[in-house]
Chains A and B, each alone.
Chain A
Amino acid sequence: MIHSIFTQLLQTLLIVGLAPLLVGWVNQCRAWLQNKSGAGVLQPYRVLHKLFNKDAVLADGASPLFRLAPYVQFGCMALVGTIVPVLATDLPFAAAADVIALVGLFALARLFAALAAMDVGTAFGSMGARREMLVACLAEPALLMVFFTPSLIAQSTSLPTIVETLAHREFVLYPSLAFAAIAFYMVSLAENARIPVDNPTTHLELTMIHEAMILEYSARHLALIEWASAIKLMNYSVIGISLFLPWGIVEAEGWLLIPVALAALFAKLLAGGAALALLETLSAKMRIFRAPEFLGTAFLLAVLGMLIRLALEK
Chain B
Amino acid sequence: MELIILLGVPLAAGLLLALYGHKERAAELNAVMSFLTFVAAAFLTARVIRDGPMMVWEENFFIDSFNVFLVALTAFVGFTTSLFSRPYMRNEHHAGKLNPARLRLYHSMFQLFMFTMLLALLTNNMGILWVAMEAATLTTVLLVSLYRTPASLEAAWKYFILCGVGIAQALFGTILLYFAAERVIGGGGTSLLWTHLNDVKGQLEPTVLSLAFVFLLVGYGTKVGLAPLHNWLPDAHAEGPTPVSAVLSGLLLNVALYAVVRAKVLVDGALQTHFAGNLMMGFGLFSVVVGAFFLSRQKDVKRLFGYSSIEHMGIVTFAFGMGGPIANFAALLHMTVHSLTKSAIFFTVGHAAQKTGTQLIANIRGLADTNPAIGWGLMLGSLAILGMPPFGVFASEFLILTTAMHEHPWATPFLLVSLGVAFAAVFSRVQEMVFGETTAKRLPHSPALIPVFIHLGLVLMLGLYIPPYLADWYRQAAALIG
| Direct A–B touching, Cβ under 8 Å | no
